[in-house]
Chain A
Amino acid sequence: MAPTLSALFGRSPIRPIQEHMAIATHCVELLGEFLEASFIKDWAAALAVQQEIRSQENIADDLKSDVRTNLPKSLFLPVSRTDLLELLHTQDKLANRAKDIAGLMLGRRMEIPESLVQEVRDYYNESLLASKQALKVINELDELLEAGFRGREVDLVEGLISELDELEHQTDVSQVKLRAKLYELEDSLPPVHVMFLYKIIDQIGDLADISESVGARLLLLIAR
């Protein structure tokens, strides 16, 4: 027996989306441990962390497909279905990117030049801050639902998102500085290694970029 009234309620995608974002952010956090291990060339530890990131990313993937399959077109949602799926897709990129960085660095046993370690660490931490800010934004989704995606709660979220934009801008500034410093060192390092160092710097910056677009996606979700 399926009573009419309880059949009326579909599974709300909001809680799973929040869980997904928490896992994606956790992947970025784990990347910090990975970087620390790579700084001291402890590749065994790095491998362990990379495995952990991979398994977390898998969990995120499963959650993502779970949300997707439970979001049929016949479901009536308070927000646009496409926007919601785009948001989820963007969140998923965050976990993917963290996995890519760890995979690439582990595969090439990439060592960050001694003189750059502190800068890279700071730069990564800025990206991590942006990710955590994005998580904070996503965690407001249930409050947004409660308030009907209007008014005060929207103002609050918009405030959080502009802070997020600020954080992302900060990583851009750091990225420019880091690149300039790498440019100075370029001649003393093997060319292929330099190429990939640029790539890693780029991708760590991506973490902040993606976090920012998570915020932007959410803004799109609540914009009327």
Chain B
Amino acid sequence: MSDIISQYGTIFLIMACLFGFFMAWGVGANDVANAMGTSVGAGAITIRQAIFIAMIFEFAGAYLAGGEVTSTIRSGIIDIEKAGFTDSPELLVYGMLSSLLAAGTWLLIASHYGWPVSTTHSIIGAIVGFAVVGISVDAVVWSKVWAIVASWVVSPMCSGIIAFFIFRSVQKLVLDTDDPFANAKKYVPFYIFLVGFMISMVTLVKGLRYVGLDFSFGQSLLMAIGAGILAMILGIFLLRGIKEVSAENDNFNFGSVEKVFGVLMIFTACSMAFAHGSNDVANAIGPLAAVNGVVQSGGVFAEESGLPFWILILGGGGIVAGLAMWGYKVIATIGRNITELTPSRGFAAELAAATTVVVASGTGIPVSTTHTLVGAVLGVGLARGIGALNLNVVGRIFLSWVVTLPVGAAISIVFFFIFKSIFS
């Protein structure tokens, strides 16, 4: 049967590239905005800067820390042996192509209506869908799927709890003191260190294996501390320019303090883009990598083949294209609407969400960055930090989970049988 692969291999690969790029474009157009909008809304960075940061750090995240999640999506959810892909590898190709197309289509529909669906949930639903109906129930590694689904509940909760404590520490150390401005200048560099350290630590320990670098835990720790200190020095340099303006706003005494936190938010914006890149790029390139693996090997599915560099470039490029063509509009919309998230609150939310997502990336679990960020914002709110939060959104998110999985699966199944009838 693998003559189908040798006959249509190039066509499959081109289709996978197109669909993967389309998916990555969608991620860049919609998803990145949620990650960057917080910093823009807080006034810490301009939209132009946000796009610039997103381009660099999304790509870095995808390249340096995205390997684990990509590998989960391409070969962790479906049991290759039980699915019988060793005998008929073209089924995997059809499945992955339909998953990409299904998730992309569903995202297009959902964002048209403004439903809070997640790229991650769509692609997982699609992959599970084609595997169950197109192949067999046993083809799915259910333990892995349940772990992923559980993480969708756990990750927002986790980031919520982290955000709660980060914001409480800000209140204790800075806001609720005699001289908030002096204390902000004193403690913000430490938070910057934390951002740099956390991101590089997780990346060094978990991600770099896929780029061909492998460090021991001790080496990683030292390098992460070094990265943190580097970020801190840069931060201290940026902070020097900020002076306290007492008469700036009589009605609101925390104006100057928030400016100090604004510097911190530049760093958390970078970490957020990095985290997003490390987790969500995989949604687009995981299936592409699977198709590529099958086609390149002429039908033999290799469990652990390295991730070709050009696939990462394609995914990263798609995100950047989506961001540049459409995403900046969404960032602008979000930035205008999130004025409630002052830098002191926004950084707590971003740092918590980025930490959670990067850890999930390191463990190879695809989570939704947006939902994790929503959890973090709720955490800050729980620390009595935000004026008003619309809890309906939380309900809508739950509803979108319930809907996205079956719908993503259904669309994927339809495409699967269409592909099957065309090529086989």
Q: Does A189 contact B (CB under 8 A)?
A: no
A3 and B330 form a contact (CB under 8 A): yes
List, in ascending order, chain B residues with CB within 8 A of A146's CB.
Answer: 175, 252, 254, 342, 344
In whole angstroms, how far apart are the Cα atoms of A143 and B116 in the complex? 32
In whole angstroms, how far apart are the Cα atoms of A139 and B250 in the complex? 10
Majority SS at the chain B contact face: helix
List, in ascending order, chain B residues with CB within 8 A of A74's CB.
Answer: 390-392, 395
In whole angstroms, how far apart are the Cα atoms of A4 and B30 in the complex? 10
Q: Does A195 contact B (CB under 8 A)?
A: no
In whole angstroms, how far apart are the Cα atoms of A151 and B41 in the complex? 28
In the complex, which of the residues B336, B371, B383, B392 contacts A148, with contact meaning CB atoms closer than 8 Å?
A: B383
Interface centre among A9, A10, A12 (most CB of B within 10 A): A9
Q: A5-B37, A9-B337, A148-B171 are in contact. Are A77 and B374 (CB under 8 A)?
A: no
In whole angstroms, how far apart are the Cα atoms of A14 and B342 in the complex? 15
Q: Does B333 contact A (CB under 8 A)?
A: yes
B390 and A75 form a contact (CB under 8 A): yes
A5 and B384 form a contact (CB under 8 A): no
B385 and A148 form a contact (CB under 8 A): yes
Q: Does A173 contact B (CB under 8 A)?
A: no
In whole angstroms, how far apart are the Cα atoms of A85 and B175 in the complex? 27
Q: Does B111 contact A (CB under 8 A)?
A: yes
A151 and B176 form a contact (CB under 8 A): yes
B388 and A3 form a contact (CB under 8 A): no
* Complex: chain B residue closest to A7, CB-CB: B393
List, in ascending order, chain A residues with CB within 8 A of B385's CB.
Answer: 78, 145, 148
List, in ascending order, chain A residues with CB within 8 A of B254's CB.
Answer: 143, 146
B330 and A76 form a contact (CB under 8 A): no
Q: Does B114 contact A (CB under 8 A)?
A: yes
Interface string of B372-393 (1 = CB under 8 A from A): 0110011001011111111111
List, in ascending order, chain B residues with CB within 8 A of A10's CB.
Answer: 387-390
How many residues of chain B are within 8 Å of chain A by beta carbon? 52
In the complex, which of the residues B111, B112, B168, B334 contacts A6, with contact meaning CB atoms closer than 8 Å?
A: B334
Q: Does A153 contact B (CB under 8 A)?
A: yes
In whole angstroms, how far apart are the Cα atoms of A55 and B179 in the complex? 42
List, in ascending order, chain B residues with CB within 8 A of A5's CB.
Answer: 34, 37-38, 334, 338, 370, 373-374, 377
In whole angstroms, how far apart are the Cα atoms of A115 and B140 in the complex? 95
Q: A4-B116, A5-B37 are in contact. Are A12 and B388 (CB under 8 A)?
A: yes
Q: Does B49 contact A (CB under 8 A)?
A: no
Q: A4-B374, A150-B384 are in contact. Are A139 and B391 (CB under 8 A)?
A: no
Interface centre among B37, B377, B385 (most CB of A within 10 A): B385
In whole angstroms, how far apart are the Cα atoms of A150 and B171 in the complex? 9
Q: A146-B254, A148-B171 are in contact. Are A9 and B389 (CB under 8 A)?
A: yes
List, in ascending order, chain A residues with CB within 8 A of B381's CB.
Answer: 76, 78
Interface string of B152-175 (1 = CB under 8 A from A): 000000000000000110010001
* Complex: chain B residue closest to A149, CB-CB: B384
Interface centre among A7, A8, A10 (most CB of B within 10 A): A8
* Complex: chain A residue closest to B253, CB-CB: A143
* Complex: chain B residue closest to A81, CB-CB: B388
Q: Does A147 contact B (CB under 8 A)?
A: yes
In the complex, which of the residues A4, A71, A147 contacts B175, with contact meaning CB atoms closer than 8 Å?
A: A147
B387 and A13 form a contact (CB under 8 A): yes
Minimum C-beta distance from B339 to chain A (A): 8
Q: Does A152 contact B (CB under 8 A)?
A: yes
In whole angstroms, how far apart are the Cα atoms of A75 and B387 in the complex? 10
B112 and A1 form a contact (CB under 8 A): yes
Q: Which of A69-120 contact B (CB under 8 A)?
A: 71, 74-79
B384 and A76 form a contact (CB under 8 A): no
Q: A77-B387, A149-B384 are in contact. Are A1 and B171 (CB under 8 A)?
A: no
In the complex, which of the residues B33, B112, B251, B338 contacts A9, with contact meaning CB atoms closer than 8 Å?
A: B338
Q: Does B340 contact A (CB under 8 A)?
A: yes
B393 and A4 form a contact (CB under 8 A): yes
Q: Does B177 contact A (CB under 8 A)?
A: yes
Interface on B for A, CB 8 Å cutoff? 30, 33-34, 37-38, 41, 111-112, 114, 116, 167-168, 171, 175-178, 251-254, 330, 333-334, 336-338, 340-342, 344, 370-371, 373-374, 377-378, 381, 383-393, 395-397
Name 29 A/B residue pairs within 8 A (Cβ), A-sorted: A1-B330, A3-B33, A3-B37, A3-B114, A4-B34, A4-B374, A5-B34, A5-B38, A5-B338, A6-B338, A7-B390, A8-B374, A8-B389, A9-B390, A10-B387, A12-B386, A12-B388, A13-B387, A71-B388, A74-B391, A75-B389, A76-B378, A76-B381, A78-B385, A143-B252, A143-B253, A148-B383, A151-B171, A151-B176
Interface on A for B, CB 8 Å cutoff? 1-14, 71, 74-79, 139, 142-143, 145-153
Extra contacts, 7 of them, besides A3-B337, A76-B381, A148-B175 (Cβ < 8 A), are: A5-B334, A77-B387, A142-B251, A146-B252, A146-B254, A147-B176, A148-B383
